[in-house]
Amino acid sequence: MEWVIKEEDFNVPIKSWCAEVEEGAMLQAKNLARHPLIFHHVALMPDCHQGYGMPIGGVIATRGGIIVNAVGVDIGCGMIASKTNFSAKDLDKSTLDDILTHIKEEIPVGFKHHATNQDWVGFNVAPDIEIVQQELESAKKQLGTLGGGNHFIEIQKSSTSEELWVMIHSGSRNFGYKIAEEYNKKSIALCAKWHSQIPDKYLAFLPIDTIEAQEYLVCMGYALKFAEANRDNMLSVVTEILKNVLNCEVQSYANIHHNFVALENHFGSNVYVHRKGATLARKEQLGIIPGSMGTPSYIVEGLGNPESFCSCSHGAGRKMGRKEASRTLSKEECDNAMKDISFVGWGKDRKGQIDLGEAPQAYKDIDTVITAELDLIKPIVKLQPLGVVKG
């Protein structure tokens, strides 16, 4: 842990594994420390940066209610990773590019969906709640799609054994966004109705004994299952591609979430732990902490540190926003950062300008992040990127 602060008007202290927290994220952390539902302390992971209402890379526990924006709009966003029995030494660039081409042909990215409905047993047991039913038909074509932003599919190699790995970052697609949007509106309305004393309207909450809170938990749980199935679906596609091209076997490793809320016991109390851009890191639990598209990622093992509510970072964390990156970075320096990694090049934003928002330089140094949380996790495998498909 880097530091602890508690100001006079805080209900709880802030404990940070991030040495220098940007101004916007710090303001959000202080608002959380003043929140009427907050329990014990606010925990900031080393990848902490400003989010919507609550910092991304933040962990809080509450009693008596759920803060929708402390989970975020991409409910169930997370990681899946698998290793193969194929040596990266035997993979030439032409074959790697062929694999990436097959992936892009078979897995829709960005705003693209499948042309036909996808099979998943979960569609048959969807909650009979309006927002879920409203999105259900669309979701049948979204299952097995990557999405945009920082979502990715990477082909990687172990830095020690040279084993080839696959890593995928994606979430619940439009399900998570619509559920968060719906219940955030309801939380704002309820807090206004009851004149709740909250430090920021973006930290409105759903009292746990309300129908709205119980519905949100059901919807969120369903979005988590969908997100997990979404990653499984894409991994199955990539696995078949690797088997066909490389004649290798793929061993599933871990499938985890980093945007969710769960009822857990901490410091002697049953509380609702919100992890927004943070990963569960119970003792000996496997985790995945990716870097940027041009830097290493880590497979880790949790140490179960109670001070972080048994959590760790979910990635490297941004050091500049997407617009700032596109405004201040040059294509040449970003190309140079990706010179040894196969990828399709930079996309365009809605104005048709080159989008450098996912360039490696837009993110914090992953090794610095890992070093800052060695009391939370133990690194198991360091993975170097070889090729990447971005959303």
Catalytic positions, written as ranges? 314
Place of tokens 């639990």: 285
- State how beta strands 311-313 and 269-276 pair: unpaired
SS3 content of the chain, % helix, strand, coil (to 5): 35, 30, 35
**Identity (one letter) of the amino acid at 332?**
E
Residue pointed to by tokens 């606010």: 42
Burial of residue 380 (number of CB atoms within 10 Å: 0-12, 13-18, 19+) = exposed
Give the torsion sign (CA, 24, 28, 33, 34). Answer: positive
Residue 226 three-state SS: helix
Q: Which two tokens stand for residue 135?
A: 């999105």
Query: DSSP label at 268?
Result: T
Alpha helices by DSSP H, 59-162: 93-106, 130-142
| DSSP letters spanning 334-368 | HHHHTTTSB-----B-TTS-B--TTSGGGB--HHH
Phi, psi angle pair for 214, to nearest 5°: -65, -40
